[in-house]
Amino acid sequence: MRSFRGTSLAARAMTLALLTGCSGGNIGTGTASRPSALSSLLLRGMPSSGTGVAVHPFIDFAAMAKNKGPTIAISVASQDVVDLFTAAGTQVGQLTGFHSPFGMASDIKGDLYVADILNSRIQVYAAGFSSPPTTLSDPGELPFDVDSFANGAYVAVTNSSTTGDGRGSVSIFKGSTLLRTITSATLSSPGFCAFDGKGDLYVDGYDPNGDVVIGEIPNATSGGTTFEQLTTTNSIGAPRSIQVTTAGGQIAIQDIANEAIYTYNRPSGGSLGTPTQTTPLGGSETPGTFAFTKDMANLYVADSNLGDALEYAYPSGGAPVSTIALAGAAGIAVIPTQYPSSSH
């Protein structure tokens, strides 16, 4: 069991419920349900040790230089590390110094952004990992996920709650400066976030009753402060990561209750409508966050129950095309990643 120093019992429970996907609820035409296990304090499916995975900080620069494909970054919250792998499954690095790292993001430059939950900060690693990280301080918050806009010119952070059980929020940074913290009565516990190419921010999470909420903060990089709830025509049982695609600026939402990723067109009239694509995640038990490859042909999912990273063809899904086995998995990022165009 993890130690959560400096945070209250309720804050720990909410954080762990989001980590393990225990919360439930529906939007769209589904019937809302209350969270089923917010009091759970176990990191289900995240073992504290394992074989074949390094447990000390290192970067194999020679191996990274030879790697012709993407680097897959996987946060292992139970070990307070982020492991770096090639697509072939060879470990080429490990980053340390975290206290429950979870959501991550990358950009075109190859920088890596890590939400360091219980240290109330974001760690930003420049491409190549040859220098110490830059810290974005998010005091008093439990930062759960992160995304960047314009290759780090702006950074958005979803805070699942405050360290003292307060309402969750979304923090917007310009560089390393905190510009604003956005709260909403309909978004009690933000989960994950993703920018589109124009600076609008999409967010999933839960309302005060524990029901699923999907929404948008328009113009988040240019002063927008209003969270606008969006509906769907299908039911989303438990959202666990959200991304905006390069092609068409579509919104992709992972639903761990249905072990699938739903892709929607951009919202119209307050609704995302019906999914244009449904990507089944066969072989996954508790899908964690996901990330697209740069060419959008594949995606990677961190499975918090299996403890592995699974690769799927996109948008067809089905059985995994490859697996990276390790001691645990929480968040995932592909370096470099796809990046939504400003033309959408």
Q: Check residue 42 and give its pLDDT.
A: 23
Q: What is the mean pLDDT of the chain?
A: 85
Q: Check residue 28 and give its pLDDT.
A: 38
| Mean pLDDT (whole number) for 52-70 | 83
| Mean pLDDT (whole number) for 244-254 | 92
Domain regions of the chain by residue span:
9-335
Q: What's the predicted TM-score (pTM) here?
A: 0.88
Alpha helices in 39-86 (DSSP H): 61-66
- Token pair, residue 3, equals 């130690």
Question: Given a cut of 70, is residue 26 above it in pLDDT?
Answer: no
Range of weakest confidence among 57-66, 100-109, 180-189, 334-343: 334-343
23 CB-near residues (< 8 Å, 6+ apart): 17, 35, 36, 37, 38, 189, 206, 210, 238
In one-letter notation, the amino acid at residue 45 is G
- pLDDT band at residue 50 under the 50/70/90 scheme: very low
User: Strand runs (DSSP E) across 26-120, as ranges?
Assistant: 58-59, 71-76, 81-86, 91-95, 101-106, 112-116
Q: Check residue 111 and give its pLDDT.
A: 97
Identify the CATH assignment for 9-335 out of 2.40.30.110, 2.30.42.10, 2.120.10.30, 3.40.50.280: 2.120.10.30
* Residue 10 phi, psi (nearest 5): -65, -40
Question: Given a cut of 80, is residue 46 above it in pLDDT?
Answer: no
Q: Check residue 105 and give its pLDDT.
A: 97
Tens of pLDDT, residues 80-135 = 999 999 999 999 999 999 999 999 999 999 999 999 999 999 999 999 999 999 99
Q: Which is higher by pLDDT, 17 or 171?
A: 171
Would residue 317 be called left, alpha or beta, if left means φ above 0 and alpha means ψ between -120 and 50 degrees?
Answer: left
Q: Report the 10 Å Cβ neighbour count for 40.
A: 16
Tens of pLDDT, residues 117-132 = 999 999 999 999 999 9
166 CB-near residues (< 8 Å, 6+ apart): none
C-alpha to C-alpha distances, 38 to 9, 88, 164, 211, nearest whole angstrom: 11, 37, 16, 12
Q: Are 300 and 332 in contact (CB under 8 A)?
A: yes
Alpha helices in 215-328 (DSSP H): none
Q: What percent of the chain has pLDDT over 90?
A: 75
